[in-house]
Amino acid sequence: MMKPKVAFICVHNSCRSQMAEAIGRLFASDVFDSYSAGTEIKTQINQDAVRIVKKLYSIDMNKTQHPKLIGDMPDVDVVVTMGCNVSCPQLPVKHREDRGLDDPSGKSDEEFIRVAKAIEEKVKDLAWRIKKGQIPKCLS
């Protein structure tokens, strides 16, 4: 059985969505494949996000990821918007949800850590719900 593909979407694909892709790969790669993308992109991942993810999870996002547009992703089963308060293009997916996370860009390390831990909790919850068949048609 193929694993579902989960896309974490944010406007610039430079902070929260990149953090979610990395954390998804770390904690849920046995359940789903993680991707991230944006409707626009920055030239690099937010370096505060890179530093915090490296500190908390020993993942160097500068080596494993880069900003991508939605069109650069494969077809996905689940879209998770990160709370950007913008309209996301309608992608043909089996399930969609919004995280409602504030952007920590320009804020303290404590705010980045809070967002990273919230993403971790939500990634683990999503993996659990997919395993239990609570996400419609993800495992069909």
Distance CA 58, CA 61 (A): 9
Distance CA 58, CA 63 (A): 12
Over the range 104-132, which residues count as b (16 or more CB within 10 Å of their CB) and which as e?
A: beeeeeebbeebbebbbebbeebbebbee
Distances (CA, A) of 135 to 87, 111, 117: 22, 30, 22
Cβ atoms of 32 and 78 closer than 8 Å: yes
Distance CA 9, CA 37 (A): 5
Confidence bin at 140 (pLDDT 50/70/90) = very low
Which tokens hold the place of 122?
């939500």
Which tens digits make up the pLDDT trace of 86-104? 555 566 677 788 888 899 9
How high is the mean pLDDT of the chain?
90
Q: What is the pLDDT of residue 94?
A: 77
Domain 19-131, CATH number (from 2.60.120.380, 3.40.50.300, 3.30.360.10, 3.40.50.2300): 3.40.50.2300
Q: What is the pLDDT of residue 137?
A: 59
Which tokens hold the place of 131?
């395993």
